[in-house]
Chain A
Amino acid sequence: MTRFLVRRVSQSVAVLIIVTIVVFAILHFLPGSPARAILGMRATPAAIQAFNVANGYNRSLPVQYLLYINRLIHGNLGFSYHFDQSVGSLLALDLPKSALLVGLSYVISLLIAIPMGIVQALRREKPLDHALTTFSFVGYAMPTFWLGILLVVWFSSDLHLFPSEGPQGASVTASFANPSGLVLPVATLTIVTVAQFSRFMRASAVENMLQDYIRTARAKGLPDWQIVTKHLFRNSVLPIITLVGLSLPGVLSGAIIVEALFNYPGMGWLFWTATGAHDYPVLMGFTIVVAAATVIGNLLADIAYAVADPRVRYQTS
């Protein structure tokens, strides 16, 4: 287990280093320069030169990379040209709001997808299974923003049930103060996520249904509901732990769309605005934070999986 941990952690560190190299490289393939972006098209060559010296842009690329890493390690994610704030403070403000959106969607998705997958496995190849499978296929094939638009048309424009805009407060507590604004964004992200999770859950449950221990349980006369709660549930939910970690990047992609569509001022909205403003420090900071969250999430999921399932034995080669 220790060797597994060491190997797994060092892999994660390697992955994070590559992420920083990729992001750094993208920044330096940019047309134009940060100096132009900040000082404007009419800046004199002398002013640009002064800016580059002041910010270290006149150094060689490897030196710049090391300086960048040094700042990162010290928690300095850079300074936003567009918002005139440090990237760290922007993220500190907006990250909790995205976490609220994504977290709520995750929890609700799991609460729906796990029973849904089990029910589908129990009623395999029956009409209910086919109906839910159709739902999953369509949900998966739907562009997230189109689903959001449809929900706005139906529940906001036609029925006037929920606002078409997310909560506008600056802090996460303000988001809580306006729960009705969260309904449509969370619903959009949830439907898309359920479509995926329920497929994994169904596959996992179907596979477990064929195992000998289920047959044994049935042979000794356990009623169906007890087979499900005592045996099937626990064993088929386990692989989903890994899935929750792996699916984080996909769900965050969805969050960008949802925040842009519902004008919800979280990290995704920030990123989208920064894209329009070519505000590269924000783009880089956000990307690195998200990648770090994903890598750490996967690592924790793997460890949790090893702890939760005694059958999992990791090769220490």
Chain B
Amino acid sequence: MTELQPTNPMVLGDPAITEPAIAGPAVGGRGLRGAIRDFSHNRMGMIGLAVIVVMLLFSFVGPLLYPTNQTHPNLLLITHRPSAQFPLGTDAVGYNVLGRLMVAGQSTLEVGLAAAAIATIVGTLWGAVAGYVGGWLDSVMMRIVDALLAIPALLLVLLLTTLVTPSVIMVIFVLGLISWLITARLVRGQVLVLRQLEYVEAAHQMGERAWRIVGRHLVRNVIGMVVVQATFEVANAILLFAALSFLGLGPPPPAANWGGMLNDGLNYVFDGYWWLIYPAGLLIVITVVAFNLIGDAIRNSLEVRLRSR
């Protein structure tokens, strides 16, 4: 069977053999330190990392330095143009847009990171168990993954959000619980290869329990691939969260997120209120691109290391 994965297309770089050594002689260090060094020589990856650090500072430290009222609407201040007082204007209920972008960034980044964390843990365990145990359990587990992959992610999210009151925590769980599928597939594929290797066989012969073999040997060996996938899941979760908010199923105001801000701005498309339409969208795009660049760079550094062995 062809095992083409519906994975993130942005990871599709050039085949490893033609890729020039990214960092010259420094390439090929061993272990975690080597991987970090390889990564730090990848310019795009470092740009991505820097962008994420800036976004985190902007969202979590920004409101401390630039406190604004994001709870109580102020109807005397609606849709002010950008000015010295309001660098990015105010929105339809009088919130300071710059301050709101900061607060909204908090929930957006929290949802992205936490949903990806849940997805990664569930997906890794699911894939490792399916691949290691094999047999009919593997078949059943992987058919479940196939079935969930056959339903568009947005449909699943919408179905699930009709069940719960939207809050940041609920959105994190819903997105986490539908984002683990690709990770599970990748891990299972890798574990199928790994479990035939001598050292796993040896551990088995020495009487180590199955869950210990999965936990100690298999999971540890797929961690690189899993981390790469996790960065893409952060990006995907941010996009899904934005889509959800656009469809009116995100956390209700005064809670803020970037997708929800765009949804609010949608009503003013024909009024020329550009500050309600561009800034939040740009922040989403920049953040998602940055996570993709990081994932791409980690993948490259792992590949470079594999090749130079």
Residues of A in contact with B (beta carbons under 8 Å apart): 8, 11, 14-16, 18-19, 22-23, 26, 29-31, 124, 136-138, 140-146, 149-150, 152-153, 157, 164, 195-197, 199-200, 202-203, 206-207, 210, 239, 242-243, 246-247, 249-250, 252-253, 256-257, 260-261, 271-272, 275-276, 278, 280, 283, 286-287, 290-291, 294-295, 298, 302, 305, 312, 314-315
Contact B269 A157 (CB under 8 A): yes
Question: Which of the residues B9, B13, B162 comes within 8 Å of A140, measured between beta carbons?
Answer: B9
Residues of B in contact with A (beta carbons under 8 Å apart): 1-2, 4, 6, 9-10, 12-15, 17-18, 143-144, 146-155, 158-163, 235, 239, 242-243, 246-249, 259, 262, 265-266, 269-270, 272, 277, 281, 284-286, 288-289, 292-293
Which A residues touch B248, using CB under 8 A? 276
Complex-state Cα separation, A275 to B164, whole angstroms: 12
Complex-state Cα separation, A202 to B242, whole angstroms: 29
Which A residues touch B2, using CB under 8 A? 242, 302, 305, 312
Contact A278 B151 (CB under 8 A): no
Complex-state Cα separation, A275 to B249, whole angstroms: 9
Which A residues touch B143, using CB under 8 A? 11, 14-15, 18
Which B residues touch A312, using CB under 8 A? 2
Complex-state Cα separation, A202 to B259, whole angstroms: 31
Contact B150 A199 (CB under 8 A): no
Complex-state Cα separation, A23 to B151, whole angstroms: 10
Which B residues touch A249, using CB under 8 A? 149-153
Complex-state Cα separation, A136 to B12, whole angstroms: 12
Known contacts A275-B247, A305-B2, A196 near B9 by CB under 8 Å: yes
Question: Which of the residues B1, B18, B235 comes within 8 Å of A141, measured between beta carbons?
Answer: B235
Which A residues touch B152, using CB under 8 A? 249-250, 252-253, 256, 290, 294
Q: How far is the CB of B125 from chain A (nearest CB, A)?
A: 19
Which B residues touch A199, using CB under 8 A? 9-10, 12
Contact A243 B269 (CB under 8 A): no
Contact A26 B163 (CB under 8 A): yes
Q: How far is the CB of B251 from chain A (nearest CB, A)?
A: 16
Q: How far is the CB of A49 from chain B (nearest CB, A)?
A: 24
Which A residues touch B154, using CB under 8 A? 253, 256-257
Chain B, residue nearest A314 (CB): B1
Contact A26 B160 (CB under 8 A): yes
Question: Which of the residues A15, A30, A150, A242 comes within 8 Å of B150, measured between beta carbons?
Answer: A15
- Provide a sorted-by-A list of 18 A–B residue pairs whose CB atoms are within 8 angstroms: A15-B146, A18-B144, A141-B289, A141-B292, A143-B281, A143-B284, A146-B262, A149-B262, A149-B269, A203-B13, A242-B2, A246-B4, A253-B152, A261-B246, A272-B158, A276-B248, A278-B162, A302-B2
Contact A291 B150 (CB under 8 A): yes
Complex-state Cα separation, A23 to B10, whole angstroms: 31
Q: How far is the CB of B191 from chain A (nearest CB, A)?
A: 19
Which A residues touch B242, using CB under 8 A? 143, 145-146
Question: Which of the residues B14, B158, B270, B289 comes within 8 Å of A137, measured between beta carbons?
Answer: B289
Complex-state Cα separation, A31 to B170, whole angstroms: 15
Question: Which of the residues B9, B146, B162, B289 comes within 8 Å of A283, measured between beta carbons?
Answer: B162
Contact B150 A19 (CB under 8 A): yes
Which B residues touch A137, using CB under 8 A? 10, 289, 292-293
Known contacts A143-B281, A149-B269, A22 near B1 by CB under 8 Å: no
Which B residues touch A246, using CB under 8 A? 4, 6
Q: How far is the CB of A115 from chain B (nearest CB, A)?
A: 17
Which B residues touch A196, using CB under 8 A? 9
Which B residues touch A15, using CB under 8 A? 143, 146-147, 150
Contact A138 B289 (CB under 8 A): yes
Question: Which of the residues B9, B15, B160 comes within 8 Å of A200, measured between beta carbons?
Answer: B9
Which B residues touch A153, using CB under 8 A? 269, 277
Contact A286 B155 (CB under 8 A): yes
Complex-state Cα separation, A249 to B2, whole angstroms: 19
Complex-state Cα separation, A137 to B235, whole angstroms: 12
Q: How far is the CB of B265 from chain A (nearest CB, A)?
A: 8
Complex-state Cα separation, A285 to B284, whole angstroms: 33
Contact A124 B6 (CB under 8 A): no
Contact A136 B262 (CB under 8 A): no
Contact B246 A142 (CB under 8 A): no
Complex-state Cα separation, A77 to B256, whole angstroms: 38
Which A residues touch B239, using CB under 8 A? 141, 143
Complex-state Cα separation, A242 to B293, whole angstroms: 26
Q: How far is the CB of B236 from chain A (nearest CB, A)?
A: 10
Known contacts A149-B266, A247-B6, A206 near B14 by CB under 8 Å: yes
Q: How far is the CB of A95 from chain B (nearest CB, A)?
A: 15
Contact A143 B246 (CB under 8 A): yes
Which B residues touch A286, using CB under 8 A? 155
Q: How far is the CB of A102 from chain B (nearest CB, A)?
A: 11
Complex-state Cα separation, A249 to B15, whole angstroms: 27
Complex-state Cα separation, A256 to B158, whole angstroms: 11
Complex-state Cα separation, A157 to B273, whole angstroms: 12
Contact A250 B6 (CB under 8 A): yes
Complex-state Cα separation, A14 to B138, whole angstroms: 13
Complex-state Cα separation, A12 to B42, whole angstroms: 42
Which B residues touch A250, using CB under 8 A? 6, 152-153
Complex-state Cα separation, A242 to B3, whole angstroms: 10
- Please list the 8 inter-chain residue pairs (A to B) with the smallest Cβ-Cβ separation, ordered nearest first: A203-B12, A141-B288, A253-B154, A18-B147, A199-B9, A249-B152, A146-B281, A253-B152
